[in-house]
Each structure stands twice: as C-alpha cells, then as structure tokens.
Structure 1
Amino acid sequence: MNVCSVTSQPGARMMSLRRNIAALAAFLLCATSAAADCANTEFQGQNFTYCRAQASDDLRLFLYANETQVYGNFRTVDEALAKEGKKLAFAMNGSMYHPDRRPVGLFVQQGQEISRIVTSEGPGNFGLLPNGVFCIEADRFTLIESRSFAAAPPECDYAAQSGPMLVIDGAYHPRFLTDSDSRLIRNGVGVTADGRRAVFVITNTPVNFYEFARFFREYLELPQALYIDGNVSRLHAPALRRSDWGGLLGPIVGKVVDASTPTN
C-alpha cells in the first residue's frame, strides 16, 4: 500500500512521521559521533576523554623542531605544521622524558632512532615491567612489549617506549592493585587487534593504574594498552575547545590534517 495515498488516518501518519524524524536524528547523531576524533565519556564514576586515529591517518610523533630545540607545546607544533598547510586535529604528550626533555627509552622520529630501547627493570613507572613500545608503521599501529620489540623490531616510521603496559593480550598488568590509592591524571594509548585503530585516552579525574587499564579493556575493548605518563598529561583537542597548558613537554603525539579540514 502506498502510505502517501492514505487520507483517513492522520494520527497514524503523524506517528510515522515522528518515528522517521527520531530515526533521522539518531542517525545524524551517530554519524557525527563516528566522524569526531575526540569525545568525553564517563565510566565507573570517572571521566575520560579519548581520541581515535585510523591507520590511514597522518599520525606523527614530534620532539625536535630543529637540532637543539624541542617543540615543547602544542602551539609550536601547530605553527610548524601551518607552513605545510596542515594543523593538529588532536595531540597529547607522547612519552616519558628526562628533565632536558629527552625521551626515556626508545624514540623514533621520521624513521630515525633518537634514543635506544631500554629492556631492563628499573625505578619508577617506566621500569615496572612489562613496559612497551607504541609503533606507527606505514599501514598499521603496533603496541608491543619492549623485550619482544627488541627481539624482532618492526619498521616504525615513529615509535615511543613507555611503561608500564596497562593491558597485555587482554590481561591486566600483573602488578596492578585494584585498591591502590596512587591516583593521578594519566594518559595512555591502546591499539585494536588488527592494528587499524589507535585510541589515545586522558583521564579528567585522578585514577589508579587498575582503573585506567579497566577503561581500555572493558569500555574500549582493546587487547593492548600502554601507559604514557601521569601528572604532566595534557590534551589538545580543538573539536572539544580544549588545549591544556603547562610546562614544556618532551615528545608529543598528534594527528595531522589539512589546515582547511573543519573542526568536528
């Protein structure tokens, strides 16, 4: 039956129209959410912001603007990209670093190894083994435990080592305590099993390691996740009208887009 020809049931037509409008609104909302790089969410009573990158995206690690100076903040990275007709879609601090902003552990920028991998146990969160390496390859992302990486390193255009691992093959780091009172603003990265998507997360409320790992495993359903840093964690997300400020950063990770790309 051609519903457009029915004239005796205005109430039914009105209900159908309302359903169609509601369905269209839901579709548009989902489409907008799918297209957005970053989003805020709540999980288990805590607040998080996560940003997604596809393997086809231009995701880079930034450290040295020239031979002696680090970029240090999101603004200087954006200024450098503007000369290429590019800009940051989002960015955050990309790995741990020494007081002089040199990266702790392995760091690869544009295929060049800036610092070497560290596989020994040591002090602090970085040395809480297993730690890991986030690697940006030509067509995929990989997140690998550091000793496994050292034994068979992939070809990384960019790479950063940090630690500890939060989620390893779907399991939590064995030394995490569910009731730890060590809570900080933290950030990290997780990767899908097929390596096609990386998700960067920053907490908006202080969390412990177990709570942070749980967000990656249970909410994002990612089999591998790596802690990047805490207390110095910062996010640049123009779509959320957010760009955190603070002291000079070491490595920065960011998704690069054309300057003409609209902010979602």
Structure 2
Amino acid sequence: MRRLTVAAPPRGRALRGSSLAILLFILAAPAAAASCRAIEAEGAGYTLCEADAARDDIRLFLNDPGSDTLLGSFANVERLLENQDKRLAFAMNGGMYHPDRRPVGLHVEAGRKIAPLVTRAGPGNFGMLPNGVFCLREDRAEVIESREFARETPACRFATQSGPMLVIDGALHPRFIEDSDSRFIRNGVGTSADGRRAWFLISDAPVNFHRFARVFRDHIGARQALYLDGKVSRLHAPGLNRSDQGLLPLGPILGVVVDEGVPLD
C-alpha cells in the first residue's frame, strides 16, 4: 500500500481551519491497496500486479480453516475474508497441485507446513529443475531455488513451491527454447533484490516459457522469478473488474488482503 506523508507544520504554528480538515481527512482515509495494471512487452499483453512485502498482507489460501475443506475459488476466499471485514486486492492461482488439489511441493500457511519440500527432478514443469519457492518472511518476499532453500531452511510465514524457475540470478532458465511452440496462458511471480517488491504476472494470450520469462527479466527487472502454472492460470482483480472463472476448482491461491474499506485501483 502507498504511504501518505504529511509535512509537519512549522514550529510554533498550529494547523487551523481548512488545513486541519485536510490533514484529518488524509489520516482517516484508508491507504490505497496493492494494484494491477495492463502492460505490453514485445508486442504482447499482460496484466501485472504489484505488492510491497513490507506493507501489504500477502497470503496463501488452500483450505477453509473452519472446516478444512478446499476453498478452490476466489469467491470462496472472498467469503472467508468477508467474515473478517477484509477483502482481496487481487489474487491468482498460487502453485501446482495434484488432481485432489493437494500442493505438489512445499506449502506453508501462517507458519504451518502443510506439504513438504520436493528437491528431486521429475516429470512435468514442476520437476524441470531448477524449480523454486516463493517465500514470505517478515517484511520480505523472496523467490529461492529449491535446493538452496533446503540448505538455508528459511522461516517462511507463507510459502509455495512451483517450477520451473523463470529467472535465476538475472538469467533465464537454461532449458527454455526461444522459439518453442509450447504456448499457454501462463502466470508467475518475481521479486526484487531487496525483497520489498513482489510482481505477479499473467499473460493475456498463450506464450512460451522463454518469452514469459523475458518479461520478468527485461521489462520488470526481477532478478528471481518463478512459474506458477499454465492452462489453469487465473486472475482475480476487482480493481480491473476482472475475476477469471474456470470449470474446475483451484489448489493454492495467492492473494493480497486489505481492509474492507480500502479502495482498489
């Protein structure tokens, strides 16, 4: 959320009349939420959502904590948050899952490990090493390669493992092919070097891995980025009047939570 800074009045002078009213209005107004916008890169369209890990409430959702039943949709997450006088600024599918919607790799919610880390190679996109973990720590968001994560064992409040890595220390995944004809609507997450910024990206049309990863590296400037999924990729962005629907329920969902009264850009 953007922070509003109000200059202090000169020493010895009090705020009066309209000045005091303006200050009180600014302080009382809810802060603007993390937001989404349309971007274009190399002639293709994408939707980019941004969050500040030090200010925004970024969370993972899988099951309803009251009943332990799968949430599976943005609407169900919204209903869960409504009971807390909160809502989603935006959300997207947040990692790969088995047919029963169990996470394929590491999944941590509010410090509780729900599924373990997987470091071995395997079939499919998830097993195309190196893969990685999106880890949310106090005031920090990081994408960490999975074997490095296993060595460091950072304490994540929320974490989701997926794969493959899109950008690794500023370089594209070595197995990506520039002219590959494997194209899907894809989504992923990247982080800034200082851990403050998290970028959530979804393509408007089918793209291959190489092109999708280039957007993170060359246009957003992410040093690390992680693929979340394709085919099932969906975005919920109320500020854009968008909430993608699908025939089947989702597994993990990544979202930014705000108070009910916060305006959405």
- In which range does the TM-score fall when normalised by the shorter chain? 0.7 to 0.9
- Looking at structure 1, the residues matched to 56 and 68 of structure 2 have their Cα atoms a distance apart, in angstroms, of 28
Superposed, which structure 2 residues align to 1:65-214 within 5 Å?
Answer: 65-66=64-65, 67-214=67-214
Q: 1:251 maps to what in 2?
A: 252
Superposed, which structure 2 residues align to 1:12-91 within 5 Å?
Answer: 37-55=35-53, 56-66=55-65, 67-91=67-91
Q: What's the CA shift string for 1:119-159, capped at 9, x where partnerless?
A: 00000000000000000111101110000001111110000
- Looking at structure 1, the residues matched to 128 and 188 of structure 2 have their Cα atoms a distance apart, in angstroms, of 15
How far off its partner does 1:68 sit? Answer: 3.8
Question: 1:204 corresponds to which letter in structure 2?
Answer: D
- Looking at structure 1, the residues matched to 34 and 225 of structure 2 have their Cα atoms a distance apart, in angstroms, of 21
Contact between 2:109 and 2:158, CA under 8 Å: does it hold in 1?
yes
- Looking at structure 1, the residues matched to 34 and 76 of structure 2 have their Cα atoms a distance apart, in angstroms, of 24
Single out whichever of 138-147 and 35-44 deviates more from structure 2. 35-44
How far off its partner does 1:203 sit? Answer: 0.4
How far off its partner does 1:69 sit? Answer: 1.0
- Looking at structure 2, the residues matched to 104 and 46 of structure 1 have their Cα atoms a distance apart, in angstroms, of 30
- Looking at structure 2, the residues matched to 48 and 229 of structure 1 have their Cα atoms a distance apart, in angstroms, of 15
Q: What's the CA shift string for 1:62-98, capped at 9, x where partnerless?
A: 0011454111000010011011110000000000000
- Looking at structure 2, the residues matched to 35 and 99 of structure 1 have their Cα atoms a distance apart, in angstroms, of 34
Q: What's the CA shift string for 1:232-264, capped at 9, x where partnerless?
A: 000000111100001200000000000011122
- Say which SS state the counterpart of residue 218 (structure 2) adopts: helix
How far off its partner does 1:36 sit? Answer: 6.1
TM-score, normalised with respect to structure 2 = 0.85
Contact between 2:91 and 2:236, CA under 8 Å: does it hold in 1?
yes
- Looking at structure 2, the residues matched to 68 and 100 of structure 1 have their Cα atoms a distance apart, in angstroms, of 14
Task: Tell me how large the CA RMSD over aligned residues is.
Answer: 1.1
- Looking at structure 2, the residues matched to 227 and 143 of structure 1 have their Cα atoms a distance apart, in angstroms, of 10
- Looking at structure 2, the residues matched to 184 and 173 of structure 1 have their Cα atoms a distance apart, in angstroms, of 17
Q: Does 1:233 align with 2:233?
A: yes
Q: 2:12 maps to what in 1?
A: none
- Which structure is larger by alpha-carbon Rg, 1 or 2? 1
Contact between 2:95 and 2:229, CA under 8 Å: does it hold in 1?
yes
- Say which SS state the counterpart of residue 213 (structure 2) adopts: helix
- Looking at structure 1, the residues matched to 215 and 244 of structure 2 have their Cα atoms a distance apart, in angstroms, of 22
Q: 1:262 maps to what in 2?
A: 263
Q: 2:27 maps to what in 1?
A: none
Q: 1:27 maps to what in 2?
A: none
- Looking at structure 1, the residues matched to 153 and 256 of structure 2 have their Cα atoms a distance apart, in angstroms, of 23
Contact between 2:95 and 2:160, CA under 8 Å: does it hold in 1?
yes
- Looking at structure 1, the residues matched to 189 and 242 of structure 2 have their Cα atoms a distance apart, in angstroms, of 19
- Report the CA distance shift for 1:35/1:254 in structure 2 as closer, same or farther (over 3 A): closer
How far off its partner does 1:35 sit? Answer: 7.1
- Say which SS state the counterpart of residue 216 (structure 1) adopts: helix
Q: Structure 1: which 5+ residue stretches go unaligned?
A: 1-33
Contact between 2:86 and 2:257, CA under 8 Å: does it hold in 1?
yes
- Looking at structure 2, the residues matched to 149 and 49 of structure 1 have their Cα atoms a distance apart, in angstroms, of 29
Determine what percentage of the aligned residue pairs are the same residue: 60
Contact between 2:85 and 2:260, CA under 8 Å: does it hold in 1?
yes
Report runs of 4+ in structure 1 exceeding 3 Å deviation: none
- Looking at structure 2, the residues matched to 139 and 242 of structure 1 have their Cα atoms a distance apart, in angstroms, of 28
TM-score, normalised with respect to structure 1 = 0.86
- Report the CA distance shift for 1:158/1:199 in structure 2 as closer, same or farther (over 3 A): same
